[in-house]
A and B are shown apart, each in its own frame.
Chain A
Amino acid sequence: MPINRRDFFALLGGVKPITPNQTVAEDFSPRSPELHVLSRLTWGVTPSDVANIQQMGIEGYIEWQLNPESIPDPRIDDFMSKRQVLSMSTTQLRQIADEQYGFVISNMLWARLYRATYSERQLYERMVEFWTDHFNIPLQDYLTEKMIDDREVIRKHALGNFRELLFASAQSPAMLMYLDNDVSDKEHPNENYARELMELHTLGVNGGYTEQDVVEVARALTGWTIEYGRDDMFVFDMNRHDTGEKTVLGVTLPAGRGIEDGLQVLDILAYHPSTARFIAQKLCRRFIADFPPDSIVQSTAEVFFTTGGDIRATMRHLLLSDEFMNAYGQKFRRPLDFVIGTLRALRDGIDVDNIYVFIEPLEGMGQVPYAWNPPNGYPDVAIAWLNTNGLLYRWNLGLNMALAGEGYLQGIVLNLDAVIPQATTVGELVDIAAERILTVSLPADLRQLFVNLLNRDGDETALVDDRLRRSYLPSLVGLMIASPQFQWL
């Protein structure tokens, strides 16, 4: 049985479960299975997503999204062609970044928001998010290197093969610098990367390695460094490499070898059962629930293991499972997801010219893209995000954003009439707005709250005149974005 929010509450530990209240479950039931699937695969459901899944069916839609290379993406192609800084080499980037750090970093942040908002390859962008957290590297300290890492490691392999992804990451200058392997040598092996490689990238903290394994892996990876100049590529430096014999997870690496030590370590880790389990656990947590049922973690791990780390096959299994289909209302949107969900909800009427309107609240909620400093990536459980500070920021972003059409937010143009079609009665307006903004059906008592907002007598048959619409539509839309139904997926 999937764990619901009340169980989650109990899992806080020592917290007395609250008496079950039937209305709470009803608060989060999806309007259809299709909308549940869309709410998890996309960054926010738009009318064209609904049209696509209705035409293709659920399985067809999932398969379509699992093959992003076959999905045309003209809007993103156009965006990228206009922002050449996003396609530059390390050397080119470094020349620009030295003088225009702010320009480069804002392009990178813009690209993150823009792609998640406008790309047709929505699941792919979700996978990019997942691996960006998994192989976290903060942008502010490694700007040019992380931009290359994003392109050549994360985006290149997001739905590919895990072993290839891991190898690319291990040889990525950004990772080599961030976790200090570039300066590790036989006299002073630096354990930073070796430890996080096993704890965070592959086996997991309980994956069965010892402190001695950390030391041995660090030794095996000595000499994996960067050739500075010439685009700062990865290079293996035999002079820095510890050629002595090592033992990693019970496997002896014979003395006298070079880069083979590190390559063998990565193979051992990529194909280790603990890695399959750990990655499956994290994928299930991302796409199903904070505490996913063990059955799905187990079967997902098996697919990952038997396919040699085929990410696409692993995701296909996960997304077609009953556990996934039954998991509605169990993921609390993270701040970035909330912000992009807001943008997508307003997509038909919004034109954004000023990215900082979104970066500031993301900072206030604690999830500016690429700004998480420790190597474990942004947390992916509700308990980390569900607090008073984050809630108030969400409410205010919704309420303020809906007013953008009146010039409250510089750099944003919003035409709410393009988002919410005309309605004759108050009840009709509430229903249309709910359909456009929310994926779940509103229980009658919550629907009535919106009716009351628009009509003091709570009369849903009251007519909507132009004055009422102009005055109250921003609050109506803002409140829907602020509602619990918009926070849980």
Chain B
Amino acid sequence: MSITRRQFLQTGAVGGVLGVSQNLFPRWMPRMAFGQAGSRERDVMVVIFNRGGMDGLNAVVPFGEGAGYYDKRPTIAIGEPDGTDNTAINLNDFFGLHPRLRPLKDIYDAGALSIIHGVGSPDPSRSHFEAMEFMERGIPGDKMTATGWVARHLATASWQNNSPFRAVGMGTMLPASLRGEISALAMRSIADFHLGGRQEQLAQVQKTLSGLYRVETPTDILSGQAAQVFNTMSQLEDLANQYYEPEYGAEYPDSEFGRGLRQIAQLIKADMGLEIACVDSGGWDTHDGQGSVDGEMAFLLDDFARGLAAFYADMQDHMSRVTVVSMSEFGRTSSENASGGTDHGRASVMFVMGGASTGGVYADWRGLSPDALDEGDLAVTTDYRDILAELLIKRVKNPLVDQIFPNHTVNLHNIFVE
């Protein structure tokens, strides 16, 4: 039987912290073998959640539908491509990118960006909270399973990796996809990840704290998390003091999302055992004043695209082993509402970025005619779990997708090369 992270902590690795040495942060978790993470065998996954319900029909515009699209959206539609900055950017003569997604066009042209349209969860819930939970847990409609799909992937993976950075949620809270047996790290800032207080008493303070939290023998979730904080501080000691300079002139947007991606890039390059990082892009619930080429959604798309493009530029030496995938809990109504916005709908889009993506737009497209729609909205014709399962099988090399997405028969859509 393999040793879990928590058992590892119990078997004394943490004990080193109690015998405080000269170092403030003794490397009591010494240069361990970080499994095969960071090797060429499997991709690092960066999972983006577009919270609030991204309007896929204005992000990736089906201008080829003609009146079927434009009549539903008299004030917010994105015009057919005419080569200017105020219309859709043509992808394949049927779909086009919102003009604020311009930074993604080069990546698309390089074949490193796949777009899946009409994708979503089979569960019809239009509640944000329920739909997000279902999507992140990976078992739509099931309220009994509390673990997330990423956590189940980590728990079923055939390899071991004791790095505290194995799974990282960038931000103040851990996303539901990361909840489970393998303890994931929530971190907002690498630079701030150290202990404050009277610095000349730091070693004593640390010793007292680890004793109070009983990190030597973690017995509950609190002591487990505390142990992980100590572990992480020790590992980050060097990195936290370095200023991170993105490469190739990459400029991340100064947003929570941009800062998150920037720090993920830093962690991947530092080769600290990162396998999965999750980061949020929020604010997509555009009921009111969604706008068209400009406006609220344009602003969000701009941040999203500039973040992805900066990451792609910064990480270009690494993209052959990195895959970025985005999802949203649902799309929005196909028709705009009275407030120049859209309400909760069904299918949305996913973006897949990385050297192993096959590129192009994938859609089992049924169109926007009344009988093709699901209660008036774009129907889910591709299950989001198919995309994630294909990523896990082909790129992350975890074939146990029947345990990660139970009761789901996976269909591969050739989104990734093997």
Write the residues of chain A forming the contact surface with B, with a CB cutoff of 8 angstroms.
Answer: 5-6, 8-9, 11-16, 18-19, 21, 23-24, 179-180, 183-185, 187-192, 195, 199, 205, 211, 214, 364-366, 373-374, 376, 379, 382-392, 395-396, 399-400, 402-403, 446, 449-450, 452-453, 471-472, 474-475, 478-479, 482-485, 487-488
Min CB–CB distance B162 → chain A (angstroms): 15
Write the residues of chain B forming the contact surface with A, with a CB cutoff of 8 angstroms.
Answer: 51-52, 124, 126-130, 145-147, 151-152, 155, 169, 171-174, 179-181, 185-189, 192-193, 195-198, 201, 204-205, 207-209, 211-214, 217-223, 225-226, 228-229, 232-233, 282-283, 285, 287-288, 337-339, 341, 343-344, 375
Contacts A15-B180, A400-B196, A400-B197 given; does A479 touch B172 at CB 8 Å? no
Find out whether the CB atom of B146 lies under 8 angstroms from the CB atom of A449. no
Q: How far is the CA of A365 from the CA of B207 in the complex (A)?
A: 24
Contact of B226 among A391, A403, A479 (CB under 8 A): A391
Contacts A399-B195, A446-B212 given; does A190 touch B337 at CB 8 Å? yes
Q: How far is the CA of A478 from the CA of B209 in the complex (A)?
A: 10
Find out whether the CB atom of B186 lies under 8 angstroms from the CB atom of A388. yes
Min CB–CB distance A14 → chain B (angstroms): 5
- Cβ of B187: which chain A residues have Cβ within 8 Å of it? 388-389
Q: How far is the CA of A84 from the CA of B147 in the complex (A)?
A: 49
- Cβ of A19: which chain B residues have Cβ within 8 Å of it? 219
Find out whether the CB atom of B208 lies under 8 angstroms from the CB atom of A24. no
Please list 16 pairs of residues, one from A and one from B, whose beta carbons are closer than 8 Å in the complex, sorted by A's number: A6-B220, A12-B179, A12-B180, A14-B147, A14-B152, A15-B181, A183-B339, A188-B338, A191-B343, A205-B129, A382-B221, A389-B173, A403-B198, A453-B204, A478-B205, A484-B223
Contact of B225 among A195, A211, A387 (CB under 8 A): A387
Contact of B129 among A211, A374, A396 (CB under 8 A): A374
Q: How far is the CA of A23 from the CA of B223 in the complex (A)?
A: 13
Contact of A180 among B151, B197, B288 (CB under 8 A): B288
Contact of A192 among B147, B152, B218, B343 (CB under 8 A): B343
Q: How far is the CA of A389 from the CA of B285 in the complex (A)?
A: 27
Contact of A199 among B127, B174, B180 (CB under 8 A): B127
Min CB–CB distance B42 → chain A (angstroms): 23
- Cβ of A387: which chain B residues have Cβ within 8 Å of it? 169, 173-174, 185-186, 225
Q: How far is the CA of A383 from the CA of B179 in the complex (A)?
A: 9
Find out whether the CB atom of A5 lies under 8 angstroms from the CB atom of B201. no
Shortest Cβ distance from B179 into A: residue = A12
Find out whether the CB atom of B127 lies under 8 angstroms from the CB atom of A446. no
Find out whether the CB atom of B225 lies under 8 angstroms from the CB atom of A386. yes
Min CB–CB distance B189 → chain A (angstroms): 8
Contacts A14-B155, A400-B196 given; does A484 touch B212 at CB 8 Å? yes
Min CB–CB distance A201 → chain B (angstroms): 13
Find out whether the CB atom of A24 lies under 8 angstroms from the CB atom of B220. yes
Contact of B220 among A18, A189, A446, A449 (CB under 8 A): A18
Min CB–CB distance A189 → chain B (angstroms): 8
Contact of A403 among B197, B209, B221 (CB under 8 A): B197
Contact of A395 among B188, B198, B209, B214 (CB under 8 A): B209
Contact of B147 among A13, A21, A188 (CB under 8 A): A13
Q: How far is the CA of A389 from the CA of B126 in the complex (A)?
A: 31
- Cβ of A395: which chain B residues have Cβ within 8 Å of it? 195-196, 209, 229
Find out whether the CB atom of B285 lies under 8 angstroms from the CB atom of A374. yes
Contact of A190 among B130, B192, B287 (CB under 8 A): B287
Q: How far is the CA of A52 from the CA of B129 in the complex (A)?
A: 42
- Cβ of B288: which chain A residues have Cβ within 8 Å of it? 180, 183
- Cβ of B173: which chain A residues have Cβ within 8 Å of it? 366, 379, 384-385, 387, 389-390
Shortest Cβ distance from A21 into B: residue = B219
- Cβ of B338: which chain A residues have Cβ within 8 Å of it? 183-185, 187-190
- Cβ of A402: which chain B residues have Cβ within 8 Å of it? 197
Find out whether the CB atom of A14 lies under 8 angstroms from the CB atom of B208. no
- Cβ of A188: which chain B residues have Cβ within 8 Å of it? 337-339
Q: How far is the CA of A24 from the CA of B219 in the complex (A)?
A: 8
Find out whether the CB atom of B339 lies under 8 angstroms from the CB atom of A180. yes
Q: How far is the CA of A383 from the CA of B146 in the complex (A)?
A: 11
- Cβ of B232: which chain A residues have Cβ within 8 Å of it? 388
Min CB–CB distance A98 → chain B (angstroms): 19
Q: How far is the CA of A386 from the CA of B28 in the complex (A)?
A: 24
- Cβ of A214: which chain B residues have Cβ within 8 Å of it? 126
Find out whether the CB atom of A366 lies under 8 angstroms from the CB atom of B171. yes
Shortest Cβ distance from B232 into A: residue = A388
Most buried by B among A15, A189, A374: A15
Q: How far is the CA of A192 from the CA of B185 in the complex (A)?
A: 34
Shortest Cβ distance from A376 into B: residue = B129
Shortest Cβ distance from A456 into B: residue = B204
Q: How far is the CA of A158 from the CA of B147 in the complex (A)?
A: 35
Q: How far is the CA of A163 from the CA of B225 in the complex (A)?
A: 42
Min CB–CB distance B229 → chain A (angstroms): 5
Contacts A180-B287, A446-B211, A487-B222 given; does A12 touch B146 at CB 8 Å? yes
- Cβ of A471: which chain B residues have Cβ within 8 Å of it? 201
Q: How far is the CA of A188 from the CA of B336 in the complex (A)?
A: 9
